[in-house]
Amino acid sequence: MKVLHLNLFRKYFDKILKGEKVVEYRDITPYWSKRLEGRYYDVIKFRNGYRKDAPEMTIKFEGMYISGSQYAIVLGNIMESKNVERT
C-alpha cells in the first residue's frame, strides 16, 4: 500500500476529522511536485505533530488536481484514527 505522509496544524486536522474539510492543499513547489506529480497513493496518513503519540488518521486517497497555484488532494473516508479525541 502506498502511503502519503502529511503533517497538519491541529485546526485543519480537526476539520478533516469532523468531515468539514474534504480537500487538502499544498503549494506548487519543487518539493511538492516531486512528491505528488505522476504518483498515485492508496492512503494519506495525517499526523498532528511529531511526538511519538501524536494524533494521526489514515484517509483514503481519492486523487489530486491543480487548482490555481496549488495541488488539491481529494480526501476520502477516514479508515483509521488513533490518539484522537473527537469533539
Would you tell me how many other CB atoms lie within 10 Å of the CB of residue 84?
A: 16
Report whether pLDDT(27) > 70. yes
- How much is the pLDDT for 49? 86
Rounded Cα gap, residues 54 and 38, in angstroms: 30
Report whether pLDDT(51) > 60. yes
Rounded Cα gap, residues 68 and 59, in angstroms: 24
- How much is the pLDDT for 86? 54
In which band, very low, low, confident or very high, does the pLDDT at 12 lie, cut at 50, 70 and 90?
Answer: very high
Report whether pLDDT(8) > 80. yes
Domains and CATH numbers, the chain: 3-82 (2.30.130.30)
